[in-house]
Amino acid sequence: MQRSLEQRYVIKFSLKLRKSGSETLQLLRTAYGDAVLSSAQVFRWHKAFKDRREGVEDEQCTGCPSTSRNGNSVACVKAVVDRDRRLSVRLIAEEVGLPKTGIHRIITEDQHMRKICVKLVPKNLSDEQKDSRVLVSRELLDRVTSEPNFLQRVITRVETWVFEYDPTTKRQSSEWHTSHSPRSKKAQMSKSRVKSMLIISFFDSKGIVHKEFVPPRQTVNQTFYLQVLECLRNRVVRVHHEIANTWFLRHNNVPCHTSFAVREFLAQHNITTLPHPPYSLDLAPCNFFLFPKLKTHLEGHHFGTVENIQAAAMRALNNISSEEFLHCYEEWQQRWNHCI
């Protein structure tokens, strides 16, 4: 402490001689060697004396007492953290007047807290939207309870982009290593611009019912979707004639699905749509089942052309067994329970 006070007097004296902060730091390094104050401290004290500060002693800290881990300081730190949990250790230390090391020990050892990132969700739902999720889940579960074969008549739909190259995820690139082996490195890569939209398909608990690719430069609007629905209806009549007049359709709430023309078409052909709560990807079979199945087979491969992309996507779809589709519908019911 005495050595620090000596250097502060030197800084104050150097300022009287009109020395800059850099010149003062060089003088201190020459005089004190390894015991010199840090450059941050030198510049801070140089600025303080330049702003007409007279004393060289540390000012009395406000807030908590200087002894870091007593009951009063722990309570003081807890009050600050409870007020704003995003504050850094440095900001908390400045507010309560304690060293950063002491603040960190209070938070981690005394209060058993750790700083974690927020969990990103597709949408922060309102109370009304949460109630809608529960209501829809309960209605569908009640229908399955009263009619065990209900889900066998439900056809769900999904569309997604498939890319010429879609890089593998970090989890897919993981390897087994010993504690002494170096960690593998992987260059960050982005998805290719060459892609094709797959209107996947419509599938039920037994497998894919209908699938097709969207032609290049074709927008999926209500006109195009009506054509797809007509193909699907004909496919159901031809292949699944036992449910031709009693099947249900589950699609999401995008504008081309909820347009008047689409709703009129479904009404004319006695096709009932299942309710789907907004922003509920976890309750959509395509999102928790079909997307991961499809993308896992395609990631990390270069396909070169749109034709190769489409052929690879078709192979990936055909490799999904009927047992997996059945398990998907069983998991769908479990997710309704979990939501409730």
Predicted pLDDT of residue 140: 94
Residue type, 326: L
Q: Are residues 8 and 140 in the same domain?
A: no
SS3 of residue 142 by DSSP: helix
Predicted pLDDT of residue 189: 47
Total number of domains constituting the chain: 3
Concatenate the DSSP letters of all residues of 45-103 into one string: HHHHHHTT----SPPPPPSS-SSTTSHHHHHHHHHHHHH-TT--HHHHHHHHT--HHHH
Predicted pLDDT of residue 201: 64
Question: In this structure, is residue 196 part of a structural domain?
Answer: yes
The residue length of the chain stands at 340
In CATH, what number is assigned to the domain containing residue 40? 1.10.10
DSSP assignment letter at 68: T
Q: Are residues 158 and 300 in the same domain?
A: yes
Q: Are residues 93 and 164 in the same domain?
A: no
Residue 30 is part of which domain span? 2-50
Q: Are residues 106 and 143 in the same domain?
A: no
Residue (of 236, 162, 155, 229) closest to 197 by Cα position = 162
Residue (of 45, 46, 68, 69) closest to 58 by Cα position = 45
- Using 50 as the pLDDT threshold, list the residues of the chain that sit under it: 64-66, 189
Q: Are residues 269 and 321 in the same domain?
A: yes
pLDDT tens by residue, 293-319? 777 767 666 777 777 777 877 888 888
User: Residues with Cβ < 8 Å from 201, sequence gap 6 or more?
Assistant: 157, 158, 208, 209, 210, 211, 212, 290, 317
Predicted pLDDT of residue 162: 67
At 248, give phi and psi (nearest 5°).
Answer: -115, 150
Cα-Cα-Cα-Cα dihedral sign, residues 151, 153, 158, 162: positive
Predicted pLDDT of residue 68: 56
At 157, give phi and psi (nearest 5°).
Answer: -130, 155
154-157/248-250 β-pairing: parallel
Predicted pLDDT of residue 95: 85
Q: Are residues 267 and 333 in the same domain?
A: yes
Q: Are residues 104 and 134 in the same domain?
A: no
Residue 155 tokens read as: 């056809």
Model-level pTM? Answer: 0.56
Question: In this structure, is residue 275 part of a structural domain?
Answer: yes
> 143, 150 in Cβ contact below 8 A?
yes
Q: What share of the chain is helix, strand, coil (3-state, %, to 5)?
A: 55, 10, 40
Cα-Cα-Cα-Cα dihedral sign, residues 20, 23, 27, 28: positive
Predicted pLDDT of residue 245: 87
For residue 280, the tally of other CB atoms under 10 A from its CB is 22
CB-count exposure of residue 224 (10 Å: 0-12, 13-18, 19+): middle
Distances (CA, A) of 46 to 58, 61, 67, 101: 14, 20, 28, 26
